[in-house]
């Protein structure tokens, strides 16, 4: 084989590089800088695409709401005051004892693959409930016991059985996984005005912030603490109060110290309102149709705290009052926990703060963010029979009766009466102190603000 031409070619290239080394080095430096800038700021990305970061580990059957709302719609939706209304269904019928519900699909509904939506395409997993499909438009639920809030269980976006095909405006075009967990998802819309969406999942906030800083994503949704982000004039934050969650301190009512109601009231009165947050004085948000504005109010009331403490002293020994009082909090609520324990120390308690990542098996007082059901039925949170989910072990015959009746009654006015009384009883007993409704934070690069606005408008 004659290698002379190849050697000659190499000599020519070498000589060229030698004579033009300044230009060559400059070109390499320019390309390197361009690659770094592209990785960090995505300067050459499509003008109609957006890269979004979500925090958490998810599988196909439990995708987060931020994503599923883009891909599909729900049979039923909740209005801003918590009332339920039709969405993909025309409406529903319920019998007198709330044990049978019939829902009718709207006409001409189609999946994003352009096939007609039939009731048999849908799957439901509701305990103690038989689901049948009398025809392609009707879904019938037969329950073993009365349960008037059943429509509230149908507010999640629906998917075609066994698939990730929804009703739009987006469809999932690509899914990437690491073992069983999803790492990336690509969404595409047939509407040319909507951007393509690339979603990347991060296991925790620290990794997510690093990914944002490296330019992997342009948006981070659901970041608990925007202060974790580097300060930059290129970054902005959208915030909205999340009325589907509530930051609460649960008191263990079986605890030797905290079984005293007056003492729990004293602790609740003493807690200050958290600066910059919307106060929650009730287990329901203020815009809820069952919110009772006349119920007992706590927080930032040291005078009432002292009065309640004096009442407690008739039933609590001095040794108990001076014993250790431990508040357990999740890591993201550590600063709030410090404020609370400091306020309790001012009341004379030996208050300590303990931080735990998971749900503790044992606690005296527990500071966590709790989800609020769409329907006012909070049976599983407060009824004495719910030993796994009633964290405080609250036991009130009156509250139990209100909760039992509230899920059997159909008429709105009668349900409201029951939940008004439930709030009055619960807040008087003070098994928990309700602090505030947290904010939902979206951190993003300002340059993609318009595209983000289009995306958020489709989430609802």
Alpha-carbon torsion 42, 48, 54, 58, what sign? negative
Task: Give the CA distances from residue 12 to residues 17, 18, 25, 219, in Å, rounded to whole numbers and listed in that order.
Answer: 9, 10, 18, 49
- DSSP SS3 for 438: coil
Query: pLDDT tens digits for 166-214?
Result: 998 999 999 999 989 999 999 999 998 899 999 999 999 999 999 999 9
The reported pLDDT for the residue numbered 348 is 92
State residue 225's pLDDT score. Answer: 82
Cα 175 from Cα 187, distance rounded (Å): 9
Q: How far apart are CA 346 and CA 411, in angstroms?
A: 47
Give the H/E segment covering residue 17: helix 4-19
User: What is the per-residue burial (b if ≥16 Cβ within 10 Å, else e) of 272-295?
Assistant: ebbeeeebbbbbbbeebebbbeeb
pLDDT tens-digit profile of 49-90? 999 999 999 999 899 999 999 999 999 999 988 999 999 999
Residues 4-9: contacts with CB under 8 Å, at least 24 apart: none
User: Is residue 33's pLDDT more than 80?
Assistant: no
Name the residue among 296, 360, 284 with its Cα closest to residue 328. 360
What gap in Å lies between CA 68 and CA 58, rounded to an integer?
12
Residue 232's pLDDT is 87
- Which tokens belong to 234? 């290129």
Give yes or no for residue 12 having a pLDDT over 90.
Answer: no
Who wins on pLDDT, 154 or 227?
A: 154
For 49-60+168-240+440-459, CATH gives: 3.40.190.10
Q: How confident is the model at residue 231 (pLDDT cuts 50, 70, 90)?
A: confident
Strand partners, 186: 174, 198
* DSSP H or E stretch at residue 445: strand 439-445
432-437 and 196-202 beta bridge pairing = unpaired
Whether 381 and 389 have beta carbons less than 8 Å apart is answered as yes
Looking at residue 322, its pLDDT comes to 85
pLDDT of residue 157: 96
| DSSP label of 6 | H
Answer yes or no: same fold for 73-154 and 245-437.
no
pTM for this one? 0.85
pLDDT tens by residue, 142-163: 999 999 999 999 999 999 999 9
Tell me: pLDDT of 134 over 80. yes
Give dist(CA 358, CA 197) in Å, integer: 32
In the numeric block, which tokens belong to residue 159? 């998917």
**Angle at 447 (CA atoms; ends 445, 450), nearest 5 degrees:** 105
Instruction: Name the residue with higher pLDDT: 133 or 31.
Output: 133
What percent of the chain is modeled with pLDDT above 70? 90
pLDDT digits (tens, 9 = 90+) for 314-336: 998 888 888 899 999 999 899 99
Q: How far is 348 from 151, CA to CA, in rounded Å?
A: 48
Q: Report the C-alpha gap between 372 and 378 in whole angstroms.
A: 8
CATH number 3.40.605.10 given to 245-437 = no
Q: Is the pLDDT of residue 275 over 60?
A: yes
Instruction: Name every residue whose Cβ is closer than 8 Å to that of residue 24 and which is 6 or more positions away in sequence.
Output: 17
Within 10 Å of residue 375's Cβ, how many Cβ atoms? 23
Choose the CATH number for 73-154 among 3.40.1410.10, 3.30.70.260, 3.90.76.10, 3.10.150.10: 3.90.76.10
**pLDDT for 26 beyond 80:** no
The token pair that represents 56 in the structure block: 């958490």
- How crowded is the C-beta side of 59, counted as CA atoms within 13 Å? 3
Cα gap 191→395, rounded to integer Å: 54
Q: What is the DSSP letter of 440?
A: E
Residue 30 pLDDT exceeds 80: no
- 199 contacts 58 by C-beta, under 8 angstroms: no
Q: Looking at residue 289, what DSSP letter applies?
A: T
d(CA 434, CA 340): 12
The pairs formed by 115-119 with CB atoms below 8 angstroms and a separation of 24 or more are 115/160, 117/88, 117/160, 117/167
- The number of residues in the chain equals 460
Local structure of 307: helix, strand or coil: helix
- Report the alpha-carbon distance of residue 114 to residue 95 in Å, rounded: 35
Report the pLDDT value the prediction gives residue 386, as an integer from 0 to 100.
97
Q: Please say if the pLDDT value at position 398 is more than 60.
A: yes
For 243, the enclosing helix (H) or strand (E) is: none
In the prediction, which pLDDT does 325 show?
96
Residue 115 confidence (pLDDT) above 80: yes
The pLDDT value given to residue 456: 87
CB of 368 closer than 8 Å to CB of 329: yes
Phi, psi angles (nearest 5°) of residue 42:
50, 55
SS3 annotation, 315-375: CCCHHHHCCEEEEEECHHHHHHHHHHHHHHHHCCCEEEEEECCCCCCCCCEEEEEEECCCC
What residue spans define the domains of the chain? Answer: 12-41, 49-60+168-240+440-459, 73-154, 245-437
Q: What is the mean pLDDT of the chain?
A: 91
Query: In terms of pLDDT, which residue wins out, 10 or 321?
Result: 321
Using CA atoms, how far apart are residues 298 and 296, in angstroms rounded to an integer?
7
The pLDDT value given to residue 28: 67
The pLDDT of residue 18: 67
Tokens for 262?
């007056």
């Amino acid at each position: 084989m004659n290698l002379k031409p190849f050697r000659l070619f190499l000599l020519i290239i070498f000589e060229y590089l030698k004579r033009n080394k300044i230009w060559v080095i400059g070109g390499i430096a320019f390309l390197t800088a361009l690659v770094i800038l592209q990785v960090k700021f995505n300067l050459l990305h499509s003008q109609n695409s957006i890269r979004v970061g979500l925090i958490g580990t998810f599988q196909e059957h439990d995708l987060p709401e931020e994503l599923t709302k883009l891909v599909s719609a729900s049979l039923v939706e909740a209005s801003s005051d918590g009332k339920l209304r039709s969405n993909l269904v025309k409406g529903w019928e319920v019998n007198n004892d709330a044990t049978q519900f019939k829902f009718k699909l709207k006409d001409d509904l189609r999946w994003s693959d352009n096939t007609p939506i039939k009731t048999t395409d849908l799957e439901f997993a509701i305990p103690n409930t038989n689901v049948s499909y009398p025809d392609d438009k009707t879904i019938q639920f037969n329950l073993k016991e009365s349960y008037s809030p059943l429509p509230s269980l149908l507010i999640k976006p629906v998917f075609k059985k066994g698939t990730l095909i929804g009703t739009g405006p987006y469809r999932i075009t690509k899914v990437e996984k690491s073992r069983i967990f999803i790492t990336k998802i690509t969404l595409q819309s047939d509407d040319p005005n909507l951007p393509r969406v690339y979603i990347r999942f991060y296991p925790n906030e620290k990794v997510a912030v690093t990914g944002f800083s490296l330019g992997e994503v342009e948006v981070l949704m659901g970041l608990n603490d925007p202060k974790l982000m580097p300060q930059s004039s290129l970054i902005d934050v959208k915030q909205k109060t999340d009325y589907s969650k509530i930051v609460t301190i649960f008191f263990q009512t079986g605890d030797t110290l905290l079984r005293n109601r007056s003492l729990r009231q004293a602790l609740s009165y003493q807690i200050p309102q958290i600066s910059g947050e919307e106060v929650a004085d009730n287990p329901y948000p203020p815009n809820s149709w069952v919110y009772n504005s006349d119920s007992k109010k706590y927080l930032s009331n040291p005078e009432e705290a002292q009065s309640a403490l004096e009442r407690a002293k008739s039933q609590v020994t001095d040794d108990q009052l001076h014993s250790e009082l431990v508040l357990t909090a999740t890591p993201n609520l550590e600063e709030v926990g410090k404020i609370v324990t400091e306020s309790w120390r001012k009341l004379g308690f030996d208050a300590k703060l303990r931080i735990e990542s998971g749900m503790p098996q044992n606690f005296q007082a527990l500071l966590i963010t709790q989800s609020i059901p769409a329907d006012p039925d909070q049976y599983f949170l407060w009824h004495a029979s719910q030993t796994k989910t009633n964290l405080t072990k609250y036991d009130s015959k009156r509250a139990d009766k209100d909760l039992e009746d509230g899920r059997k009654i159909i008429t709105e006015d009668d349900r409201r009466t029951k939940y008004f009384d439930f709030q009055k009883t619960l807040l008087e007993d003070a098994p928990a102190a309700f602090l505030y409704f947290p904010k939902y934070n979206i951190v993003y690069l300002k340059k993609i603000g318009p595209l983000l606005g289009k995306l958020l408008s489709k989430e609802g």
